[in-house]
Structure 1
Amino acid sequence: MKHEVFDEVIEALDDVLDAERSALLNGNIDEVGRLLERKEALIEELAQLEEGSAESLQELNSKIKRNQALLDHALEGIRSVSRRLAALRRVRSSLDTYDEHGTRKTIDMSSDGVLEKRA
């Protein structure tokens, strides 16, 4: 009986890992978040079971490592976009210039709504 439960949990976790991989490859981060709770519950249930096949666990371990690598790359992509957006915001709000000695000076580009007209 316990062996059947073990096999069911392994199969369910395998399905969740495949769905997680698909979501990561498609850039569906919301789906990855939804799958996380189910994955954690299955891993907890698996930890409670005493018997099982080491081969099945090794296959799951390789899928978990594969998905973790995909997740790491997705997070790095998100961080890269965040850094780029921050740089663009800085460009809109200030201008960096350099004097003849190479000293950087930042000019704030605040829009106070005043326009000076010179002849």
Structure 2
Amino acid sequence: MTNEEFEDVVDALDDLLEAERAALLAGDLDEVGRLLERKEGLIERFATLDDADRDALAGLQTKLKRNQALLDQALEGIRSVSRRLAALRRVRSSLETYDDKGERRSIDIALDGSVEKRA
């Protein structure tokens, strides 16, 4: 890889990492997915670099770590929402109480989805 090609790839990856960060901060996971293919292609091009060129990538490493932390936080947020929705579904379908011995009891609630109207 020539020096000019190397700099072009570094600049392209730098721009892509900034776009990925913006998408993560905006919560645009669709855009993050679209950027992933381009990111993989650019990273594959770096696999052919010799050790002298790898030293120039130290600045990108910070951005990669930053974006990875943002991705981890986004995934944890998604997991948290998933757990909360599961808890809400459980609340709708059962009632948990404690008996006189302090043991937890679950009472299943059958929802038929109909409403009876009386005049």
Say whether the fold is shared (TM-score over 0.5): yes
Question: C-alpha distance in 2, partners of 1:17/1:114?
Answer: 52
Q: CA RMSD of the aligned region, Å?
A: 1.8
Measure the CA separation in 1 of the matches of 2:27 and 2:46.
Answer: 28
Deviation at 1:76, TM superposition (A): 0.7
How far apart are the structure 2 equivalents of 1:99 and 1:31?
A: 51
The answer for unaligned runs of 5 or more in structure 2 is none
Q: Note closer, same or farther for the CA distance 1:113–1:69 as it changes in structure 2 (3 Å cut).
A: closer
Residue 41 of structure 2 aligns with an amino acid whose one-letter code is A
1:9 partner SS: helix
Identify the structure with bigger relative contact order (alpha carbons < 8 Å, sequence gap 6+).
1
Provide the identity percentage: 65
Tell me the equivalent position of 2:81. Answer: 81
Change (3 A) 1:104 1:30: same
For 1:52, the equivalent position in structure 2 comes to 53
How many residue pairs get aligned? The number is 114
1:105 equivalent in structure 2: 105
TM-score after normalising by structure 2? 0.88
Instruction: Note the residue ranges of structure 1 that are not aligned, 5 or more in a row.
Output: none
